[in-house]
A and B are shown apart, each in its own frame.
Chain A
């Protein structure tokens, strides 16, 4: 099974700051990686698929990059509604696996 390692575990920042989240895979994924956002008490929401494609309705401040084993989610200027937990997910091999998550919290 492919293991996804997200870092850091927690990020503390202020609204308006730029944030970069990392996801590293135990095997090469090509570009087969997605990012999700989950707020407390809510289901996850798909943000980015195939490493760099924004899902329907996702604001342009969210962007994804990377290929192979190293991937990044960037929020260009964090809005108050962006404070949440972010997960990466690979579809390269079964089973589908998720990273452990990065919590983005208000400083």
Chain B
């Protein structure tokens, strides 16, 4: 069974840093691209960042560029999101999600999601 479990969230002051983790199990983690998506409670979904299977390429949304870094440790089956210079508008539920693979090809839809972790940026 595919499982994605986020951790590391919490309350942080504006300007602070936080690192989210996403522990993966039930599939060959090193074969899949991964994403972070966030959602303000009661609002819509916003894609944040993605990383390819070996961690060599990443891409971020403009809203977090220069502040957030996605990374992974395939030996530990873990995805990370390092969040620096946090702002109030970064307050959200953060989901890690697996990229869909069809016939061996990476197709940029999200087929499994974690349960989400709350990040609150407030003084």
Contact = CB atoms under 8 A, between A and B. Distances in A.
* Bound together: yes
Interface of A: 34, 36, 38, 42-46, 49-50, 55-56, 87, 89, 91, 94-101
Interface of B: 35, 44-47, 50, 59, 61-62, 95, 97, 100, 102, 107-111, 113-116
A98 B47 contact: yes
A75 to B, nearest CB: 19
Name, among B44, B46, B95, B107, the residue most crowded by chain A CB atoms within 10 Å (CB to CB).
Answer: B44
Name, among A46, A96, A98, the residue most crowded by chain B CB atoms within 10 Å (CB to CB).
Answer: A96
B87 to A, nearest CB: 18
Contacts of A87: 44-45
B109 A89 contact: yes
A46 B107 CA distance: 13
B20 to A, nearest CB: 15
Contact of A46 (B44, B62, B100, B114): B100
B117 to A, nearest CB: 11
Name, among A42, A55, A91, the residue most crowded by chain B CB atoms within 10 Å (CB to CB).
Answer: A91
Name, among B100, B107, B110, B115, the residue most crowded by chain A CB atoms within 10 Å (CB to CB).
Answer: B110
A101 B44 contact: yes
B107 A55 contact: no
Contact of A43 (B44, B50, B109, B115): B115
Nearest to A101: B44
A43 B111 contact: no
Nearest to B93: A43
B110 A46 contact: yes
Contacts of B35: 96
A18 to B, nearest CB: 25
A95 B113 contact: no
B107 A91 contact: yes
Given A34-B109, A46-B109, A55-B111, A100 B95 contact: no
